[in-house]
Structure 1
Amino acid sequence: MSAHEISVIFLFSVLYVSVYSKSVKTDSDDHMGITSFNEQGLIPVVNNPITDVFPCWSTPVPPYMITHPCFNDGGQVQCRCSNTTQDCSSNFGNLTYMPRLFTGVQVLNFSNNGLQRLTDERFFVNVSRDVWLVDLYNNDMAYIAPRVFRPLHKLRSVLIGGNRLSYEALRPVFGIPTLNEVDIKCGGLGVFPDQYFHKTTAVNLKYLDLSWNNMGELDMSVLQPLRRLTSFNLWHNKLYQLKTAYFPFLEYLSFHKNRLFEFPVTCRNGTKETLFPSLTHLTLDFNVISSIPDPVCLPKLRVFDMKYNRIAYFYSSMFSAIRFPALQKLEVTEMEDRIKKIEAYAFNNSGIVYVGLGLNFINFSSDVVDGDFLAGCTGLTDLFLNDNYFGEVSVERFHSFLRPVGGLTTLYLGRAQIQSLSSKTFINLPNLNCLYLYENSLQFLPDGAFDQLPNLRLLSIGGNRISKVSSTTFSADTQGRLTGLDLAGNPFACSCEILWFQQWMQSKPHLFEDFLNVGYRCANLHNMMVSDFTINPQSCLMDHNAAVLVIAFVCLYLFLFSLLTVIFGYRWHLRLWLYAVCRGRHERSRRQLERQSRGFRFDVFLSYAEEDMKWVQNELLPVLEDEWRLRVCVHQRDFVPGKHIVDNIADCVDESDRVVLVFSPHFARSQWCQFELKYCQSCVMERDDV
């Protein structure tokens, strides 16, 4: 882009809107012009909003840098000036003549003044002869006097969009012999009249912008008298029919957002002789083109934008060097119809350095995409694959995709539903400089995942599900290489394990980016940033695994202690239960049969406490044994020595017909007495002898 063009863009945003497609090569040095960068310069913005929103500014505040007042009428400032600019815009009918101001003015802005008819041929008499740009935008103008621009001998650029001028009324504009650039956007213009430029004197016209009109159809042969035309924009014209013609010097051609169904004819009469020998930039985005048939004759085309069309099949060698010998940057993002097949060698062109295939929601794990679709694209350095599906793509298949493009320096895989990485995922891309993995589903970064990329400088992993970044995730060499790292928008777990990452952020604040503008936040703490998180260092002396083991051991110890305490408190109950379970119903039935066959050994089983033994011997036994002649089982006398006390009690109770319990305070306190009582109750219930 020339210094002259840059100055025009700087001075007028409305001209910046119109010149944008012509100046696309400025953006293309880093990325495709249409797929431009956001203000951070790092994340691609596929939809270009510059011209789609306010193509014809009409607000009372002009988009210029306001300078000192230089003309007023009746106390109201009507013009502002700088060294080379005279801004008399936005007076809305209050200024209908051109005031005489200082000499040296080069840029004149007279837009938004309600100047409906420019009838006075002396209108510009007071203007400096050095003026090379005039802005007459949005004046509701319908007529221009034939020789009104004659005093402006150096006039090169005219901005006259947003008016009601017919083609006939525009003839004075195209009669300016020094004219290089003209912008007539938003003029309601229809189809060109036949031979409209046949007698034009604007033979030096290089840039023509007729966007946001209503042309519908175009025969480009009408423009052939403009022999030096290098840039032609026809955005938003509802264009459905296009007939091309020979333009030897045309470099930039844009039909953005029209209704073209067919790819423009680029060869003369079906031969291989080109109609556009100098064309370097072709924009056909947002049309309804479904194929690019042979022949294609674009020998110098470098930047080709086919975004948002209806191409569903990308066949082998579709963009090969035979068809596009000079192609460098290709945009096929966001196709209107779902892509059904991308064959092997579809991009077989070693000259291509950028391919945009994002926002197509292609499942790269399916057979829609051939594993060799990039084969032959050996010069590729930038690959844009955002908003596709890589969730189920294996490492081996991923390697097959990228094996032919080992020289790749920039790779976009944002919003690609990637769930995991390995240390070998990018091993075949040693030249990778910028890697974008933002807004995927990554939960974990394996150690050394990026250590195989010796040239990596920028890494964007924001907006994933990563909760922890440890000191081993990035090796010391990788940490030293990185100049930009975006991890913002991840749900970090702020604990002892985050301290290393926090210290890294604090030691190198310039390293950490936030392209998504979401910040580095603690997911487990409300409204807490990672940089603000604090914790007592003493609580972090033990690592997480050791702390888990200690806590588990303490919990187990407390559980066992509580369990043993309960068991000790109910030990006699448990003994009885265990005895009943272990001896079993079969054993009890066997003993009952034995007793029935041989009778009871004792008439009475006497249960009493040791402290009551004297009373039992002196008072109770004489009555039971001497007077009543009963056979009494007394444990001091009748228990078998050496036999377990529990078995003694069970056997003696089973061999006794009745039980006599001597209740006393001592009996209530004795655990053995309680055991005998419960066992006796159990026997009574089993015998059904209540």
Structure 2
Amino acid sequence: MKLPVIKTKMLLLYFFLQYVEFLLVFGSKFICGDGHFRCLGNEATCISKQELNYIPELPDHIQKVDILLGDVERIDSPDFFQNVTHISSLSMIRSGLTYIAPGAFDILQNLTSLDIGANQLDALPENTFSPETRSRLLHFDATENNFHCRCDLIWFSEWLISNSSVFHPPGIKKYFCVNKYFLGKPLLINIVELRGLDKQACLMSGDYLAFIIFILSVLLGSFVFYLFLKIYCSPKLTTVKQRVLLPFRLLRTKLHTFVCTTNVAFKYDVFVAYAEEDNDFVSDHLRPRLEDELGLKLCLHQRDFHPGRNILENIEDSVTSSKKVLMVFTTHFAHSPWCQFELALCQRHAMDHGDLLLVVHVNNTPVSDLTPTMTAIVRTCTYIAWSQAGEGRVIFWNSLLLALGDVLTTHAPRSLQRRQQQRQQQGEMNQDEEQAGETVIV
């Protein structure tokens, strides 16, 4: 009775030893790259949880390398790929990548497919890829990264447009960058829209803005510290309530005085933001009525921008030097990158000063032709629609003059004086014509 049991146990032991031998002989063939990769067919997949400082040597028949969910924080030099120069496909999705050295992929002479999506990249300079490397790529994916809207992405927007087939899937509309300057909070912008920006925009760098913000913060902090020292060292303030409330009252008085004084120093009454193609509307309708008849001083970029100065500086100085901001919404305005920049800057200015944007909607431009920011303004704010009809035009001017009430009040005397001067000049011209007529009769 015991013999069959012994035979069964011996048989099981035999099969177990055969299985162990199979793993030792064949299983080890699937592990490659110093134990960091699993090789199957012509593909090598990273299985290591350790941080990779370089890709180890892989068999020559490997064509595709996948570092999905790996740990590669930085690619500091092309030496990272020196052991796999023969591969044609590289995938580094969600590998924790934050930096790529210039020309890091140029060593991969056979590379035709590259995927670096879903990482932590905030920049992609042009020297990341040589022109030869870009020309070899048949598929490229860098979506779901934390790109910042800077000038070093302008080249990338041009590449997206000129070689859109390389980026399908997912397509060029899936590429966004984050801009934290316009509205003080993350604002997603399609990278394709950066293509129209002038290279002069690069002169306004993030480091310069950070320096200005730092200086202003130091000055404000020093002023507040001085206020508290002066108040708390004063023997006249005997109660806690006085010590707590007085700083805020003084600060409110200072701010009120600052606003009042800056109002007097404004250079323009109204800053008009419009596209170049809409100059006829501004010169034929807005300027004659607001300047010639009502005596307001408009800021028009074709006439009042300083020649030779940076365009961004001209826009910023003109907006901050104007009491009101008037936007002329048209299809041309939606398609102009500079107009979109003016819109974002004017929004920021209006929020900082507690003012409202005045929007004139011309030609009833369809919502589908507007940008998301323009659509949000049209749907949430009351705008003034231009009309060619007689009654509609009367309503338009009444609404616009009502919106400009504060500015018109301060310029009412000057407007009346200008009208009197015009009437006086017209009367003198009539007298000269009558005298000329009498002379001819004699």
TM-score (norm 1): 0.26
More helix by share: 2
- Which structure has more relative contact order (CA 8 Å, sep 6+)? It is 2
Larger Rg: 1
TM-score (norm 2): 0.38
